[in-house]
C-alpha cells in the first residue's frame, strides 16, 4: 500500500511530462510551418508553399484597416477607392508574387494556441515587394493536424498601407495587444 501512492504520483508526473513534450513539439512544428511559409514567399517556391496547406477549401481573405480605407477614400474619392475587403486563394497569392523581383513576408509577435489537433496562430506581419514594405497588419492562421502533419486551413489578415502609414515598432505593437486584452 505504501508503494501505490508514489507509483501513482510517478505515473501522473510521467504523463504530464509526455503531454508537455507533445505541446512543445507541436509548437515547434507549427513554427517550422511559419518559417517555411516565409521562405517559400522569398524563394517563390510554389511546391513548398502549396504543401503547407490543407487539401480542399482554404479560406484566404483580408480587410483594409479603417485608417487606410479612409485615406483611400480621401485620396481617390469614394467611387475610385478600392474595396476594403478581398478574398482569394493561396495559389493566387503565390502567382501574384511573380510580378516582383523580390518578395518577403516578415512575421513577429507570434502566438500559438493548440491542443494537438487544431491550432490558431496570431502574428504581426509586414509584406515587402522589391525591397519595399507595401503593407502590414495582423495575420491569423488556423491549422489542423491531419495524418500527423500540420496543415493551414485559413489565412485571414488585416492590411494597413505603407503609402499612408508607417508600421509601429514591435514594442508599441506588443503594448497595444496587451491593452486590447484588458
Query: What share of the chain in percent tops pLDDT 90?
Result: 71
**Long-range contacts, stretch 168-171, CB < 8 angstroms, 24+ apart:** 170/108, 170/109, 170/124
Give the dihedral sign, CA 177/178/179/180. positive
Please compute the mean of the pLDDT values over residues 8-13 and round it to a whole number: 51
C-alpha cell at 138: 495582423
Please compute the mean of the pLDDT values over residues 121-145 and round it to a whole number: 97
7: pLDDT strictly greater than 70: no
Backbone angles phi, psi at 117, to 5 degrees: -125, -40
Predicted pLDDT of residue 180: 72
Predicted pLDDT of residue 138: 96
How big, in percent rounded to 5, are the helix, strand and coil portions of the chain?
40, 35, 25
In three-state form (DSSP H/G/I as H, E/B as E, the rest C), the secondary structure along 67-118 is HHHHHHHHHHCCCCCCCCEEECCHHHHHHHHCCCCCEEEEEEEEEEEECCCE
Please compute the mean of the pLDDT values over residues 8-33 and round it to a whole number: 67
Q: Which of 40-49, 78-87, 115-124 has the lowest mean pLDDT?
A: 78-87
Distance between CA 31 and CA 107 in Å, rounded? 11
pLDDT digits (tens, 9 = 90+) for 59-116: 999 999 999 999 999 998 888 888 899 999 999 999 999 999 999 999 999 999 999 9
- Set out the domains of the chain in order of their start, with CATH numbers: 4-181 (3.10.450.50)
Predicted pLDDT of residue 11: 47
Q: What confidence category does residue 176 fall into, taking pLDDT thresholds of 50, 70 and 90?
A: confident
Q: Is the pTM of this model over 0.85?
A: no
Amino acid at each position: 500500500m505504501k508503494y501505490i501512492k508514489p507509483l501513482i504520483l510517478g505515473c501522473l508526473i510521467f504523463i504530464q511530462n509526455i503531454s508537455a513534450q507533445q505541446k512543445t513539439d507541436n509548437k515547434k512544428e507549427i513554427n517550422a510551418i511559419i518559417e517555411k511559409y516565409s521562405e517559400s514567399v522569398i524563394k517563390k517556391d510554389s511546391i513548398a508553399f502549396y504543401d503547407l496547406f490543407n487539401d480542399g477549401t482554404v479560406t484566404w481573405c483580408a480587410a483594409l484597416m479603417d485608417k487606410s480605407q479612409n485615406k483611400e477614400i480621401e485620396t481617390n474619392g469614394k467611387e475610385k477607392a478600392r474595396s476594403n475587403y478581398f478574398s482569394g486563394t493561396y495559389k493566387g497569392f503565390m502567382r501574384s508574387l511573380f510580378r516582383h523581383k523580390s518578395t518577403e513576408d516578415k512575421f513577429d509577435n507570434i502566438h500559438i494556441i493548440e491542443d494537438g489537433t487544431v491550432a490558431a496562430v496570431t502574428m504581426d506581419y509586414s509584406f515587402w515587394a522589391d525591397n519595399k514594405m507595401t503593407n502590414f497588419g495582423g495575420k491569423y492562421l488556423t491549422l489542423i493536424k491531419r495524418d500527423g502533419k500540420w496543415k493551414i486551413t485559413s489565412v485571414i489578415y488585416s492590411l494597413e498601407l505603407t503609402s499612408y502609414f508607417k508600421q509601429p515598432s514591435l514594442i508599441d505593437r506588443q503594448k497595444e495587444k496587451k491593452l486590447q486584452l484588458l
